[in-house]
Structure 1
């Protein structure tokens, strides 16, 4: 494209003229009208993290929380450390709690030792109320049932399967 010297001199003026024309297209406010208020927004230049929703418990995490609670309430009836190679008694209990953590039912599901069963049931009664099952119940379900296994030594002291190490 071959532009004359005069055309080249007008090139910077054309965009400025167009801009002036476009800005002048707005109609002036009517007489006596108040000017529109200016709104300013302050933007914090620091990056922020998105809000994190509260964690929902999994059933396994809840069972571990409950197991620690039971052990805390029955410290004199528990033992720690490695499990013996042969456990003299194992008791599985079904535990039903409401949304507040109140025990609504505790039943022995499996046991071969009536004395160990009595210790497990008494320990559960001493442990109530249990921690609330946050996030595990829906509005239309009022209770939940889960199981816990009591692992006994020969002195009828126990560990709970949810927290016990390897045997």
Structure 2
């Protein structure tokens, strides 16, 4: 019985990683392909987002804006060159305090690009105080790399092509 409960909990946790928070719908039709909303570019900015998902969207837009020459527009190709997952932490003032590769196909060039694009975009707007735990906010983001080495961030990317 206990094994079954643990299995169900694990399945529920994995399913939660792949779904959006129902409180934060995204209307992609209002944004043109490749268009990025502006995020404050100065370190004293405070995010107006009150949810982790909203703050994560703000950061994804900022990373894309700051690294616009490395970002592709339109839908991600069907078979991506690399998918890199980075876990990172932001402190209460919006400073990047840690980043690490969590998942990769061992494409060192794209891993370096993902980490560098995150560092280049910092500092970030201050997260809402209630999002901070133990002095920081832990987040993860997925970089989707096309064959040409440019990327999109899964949080704000369009649906991937079928073929």
Q: Tell me which residue corresponds to 1:59.
A: 52
What is the aligned-residue RMSD (CA, Å)?
1.5
Alignment of 1:93-108 (within 5 A): 93-108=86-101
Distance in 1 between residues matched to 2:49 and 2:129, nearest whole Å: 5
Instruction: Using CA pairs under 8 Å that are at least 6 residues apart, name the structure with larger relative contact order, 1 or 2.
Output: 2
Where do residues 41-56 of structure 1 align in structure 2 (5 Å cutoff)? Answer: none
2:128 to 127, 131, 134: 134
Asked if the contact 1:90–1:111 (Cα under 8 Å) also holds between the matched residues in 2, the reply is yes
Pairwise CA distance, 1:62: 0.7
The C-alpha deviation readout for 1:34-91, integer Å capped at 9, x for no partner, is xxxxxxxxxxxxxxxxxxxxx7611111110000010111011101101101111010
Q: Which runs of 5+ in 1 are unaligned?
A: 1-54
Task: Tell me the matched-pair count.
Answer: 112
Question: 5+ residue gaps in structure 2?
Answer: 1-47
Which entry has the higher C-alpha Rg, 1 or 2? Answer: 1
Contact 2:110 2:145 in 1 (8 A): yes
Give 1:29's aligned residue: none
TM-score (norm 2): 0.65
Aligned pairs for 1:1-167 (under 5 A) are 57-112=50-105, 113-138=107-132, 141-167=134-160
So what's the TM-score if we normalise by structure 1?
0.63
